[in-house]
Amino acid sequence: MAGLFLDAKNLLLQNDPLNYINYDKLNQERKEFLRSDLWDFTWTKPCNAVYFPGNAFVKARTIGVNPSINFSGTTELTATIRGFTVRQNVYSGTTSGTITIQYQDFEDQAIMAWLDDWREKLGDRENRYTFRKEDTCAEGTLTVFNSSRKAIRLYTLKCIQLSDPGISGLYTPSFTSDDPSNMGDISATFSFEHCQLEWKNI
């Protein structure tokens, strides 16, 4: 007797073009969200002429990374043929950009000394001597991970140059007799000429 009655759920699953709007199907994916707290920045090729305290040391004091990379620019090409307009979109953006990295320095001042030496190599304070570009450029990688610590996205940055060491206010900070403030909070900005993006989990 029960077979004489139609089950609306089964009927929809068989015939509904929108049957993907279903919690059961969404739940079966069991995919994780992309997270902003699982990342790693590595200086793969530090500058030849600049003091570098080492990746393990710098990583331990890296607080955050904020890249600015344009992957979205397109230009529309058009042609009019016998009154009809034909369109084609093509990529017009560049692969250059900037990246800002936040560091926490301590009394050894290793991060500040590294960034200050890099700035000095771009133009000495006393004699304005500048080292060659090939000796003041670096390379690095920004890796994004999932919860299992497996890489899912890799950005390779080419020809990184120091734009703003972010330490100008730390040379001569305001010294007070009470209410101490953190003098080791550094936000350095770098520019790069090219970025390669690699999807690691597809």
The answer to whether residue 36 is domain-embedded is yes
Residues 78-101 pLDDT 10s: 999 999 999 998 887 788 999 999
Write down the pTM of the prediction.
Answer: 0.80
The answer to whether residue 194 is domain-embedded is yes
Q: How far is CA 166 from CA 30, 42, 68, 146, 174, in A?
A: 42, 19, 17, 31, 16
Share of the chain above pLDDT 70, in %: 82
Residues 42-72 pLDDT 10s: 999 999 999 999 999 999 999 999 998 877 7
Ramachandran category for residue 92: left, alpha or beta (phi over 0 → left; psi -120 to 50 → alpha): alpha
The answer to whether residue 168 is domain-embedded is yes
Give the CATH number for residue 130: 2.40.30
The answer to whether residue 96 is domain-embedded is yes
Of the candidates 143, 139, 121, which has an alpha carbon nearest to the alpha carbon of residue 130?
121
- Range(s) of the domain holding residue 161: 31-199
